[in-house]
């Protein structure tokens, strides 16, 4: 586990001894697809890192509608902001596929923040990046559905490359729309040669055409 953390932000600049101490108190747990890792409002007792699989950070709105705020892939650390402010988890974390997650006790993470200035700086940069993603997501509320979906696909391509392994329902939850609307827009984009859509995945063929949706 220590070797794995050495390649991940914000842990890569820790000393070997510090990573070994984290590894000694961390726990690694396997989650089946659909399992909840933690729920919004629960005490934030751990900072989590995806080791394998994919985790979605989600809000469940009135009426049961699901909204995905972030998609976490292997090597990404999530919900570490409570390690600073001590507040509960702000979202639900759900295993989108069979996943393995490393959970580091918040107390151990917070101790390193206090003792290691470089780790504190790297962690703050990571927190700011996450906050920008959430801010950008909230601004998408005022965009057209086409623009929201194009922005979501381009964002996901930075994580996965041109072929994005999300279902149409998962894309709908990320773009804050319905599955039916997502299917309709993807079908239009497919006919235009912008994407190729298949069961459980979408391949971007012409990213410049998707980017055109983002022009003012």
Say how many domains are in the chain.
2
Q: How many Cβ atoms from other residues are within 10 Å of residue 131's Cβ?
A: 11
Judgement on whether residues 9 and 84 belong to the same structural domain of the protein: yes
Return the axis-axis angle of helices 106-115 and 117-139, rounded to nearest 10°. Answer: 120
Task: State the pLDDT at residue 138.
Answer: 61
Q: In the predicted model, is pLDDT for residue 131 greater than 90?
A: no
Domain boundary among 76, 109, 139: 139
50 band by pLDDT with thresholds 50, 70 and 90: very high
Q: In the predicted model, is pLDDT for residue 161 greater than 70?
A: yes
pTM: 0.89
Judgement on whether residues 124 and 148 belong to the same structural domain of the protein: no
Q: Answer with the residue of higher pLDDT: 140 or 165.
A: 165
Judgement on whether residues 195 and 133 belong to the same structural domain of the protein: no
At 90-114, the pLDDT tens digits run 899 999 999 999 999 999 998 998 9
Task: State the pLDDT at residue 142.
Answer: 63
Domain of residue 112, residue span: 2-139
Q: How many Cβ atoms from other residues are within 10 Å of residue 63's Cβ?
A: 5
Domain boundary among 124, 139, 154: 139
Q: What is the per-residue DSSP string for 151-173?
A: HHHHHHHHHH-SEE---HHHHHH
Q: How many Cβ atoms from other residues are within 10 Å of residue 119's Cβ?
A: 20
Domain boundary among 115, 139, 163: 139
Judgement on whether residues 51 and 119 belong to the same structural domain of the protein: yes
117 is written with which tokens?
Answer: 């200035």
81 band by pLDDT with thresholds 50, 70 and 90: confident
């Amino acid at each position: 586990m220590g070797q794995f953390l050495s390649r991940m932000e914000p842990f890569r600049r820790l000393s070997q001894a510090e990573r070994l101490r984290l590894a000694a108190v961390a726990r690694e747990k396997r989650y089946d697809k659909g399992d909840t890792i933690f729920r919004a409002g629960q005490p934030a007792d751990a900072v989590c890192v995806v080791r394998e699989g994919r985790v979605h950070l989600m809000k469940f709105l009135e009426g049961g509608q699901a909204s995905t705020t972030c998609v976490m892939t292997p090597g990404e650390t999530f919900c570490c902001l409570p390690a600073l402010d001590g507040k509960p988890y702000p979202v639900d974390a759900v295993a989108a596929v069979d996943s393995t997650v490393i959970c580091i006790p918040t107390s151990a993470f917070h101790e390193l923040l206090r003792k290691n200035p470089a780790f504190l700086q790297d962690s703050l940069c990571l927190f700011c990046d996450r906050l920008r993603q959430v801010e950008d997501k909230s601004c998408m509320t005022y965009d057209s559905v086409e623009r929201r979906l194009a922005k979501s696909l381009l964002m996901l391509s930075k994580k996965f490359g041109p072929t994005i392994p999300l279902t149409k329902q998962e894309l709908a939850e990320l773009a804050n729309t319905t599955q039916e609307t997502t299917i309709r827009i993807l079908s239009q984009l497919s006919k235009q040669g912008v994407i190729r859509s298949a069961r459980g995945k979408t391949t971007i063929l012409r990213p410049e055409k998707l980017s055109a949706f983002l022009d003012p």
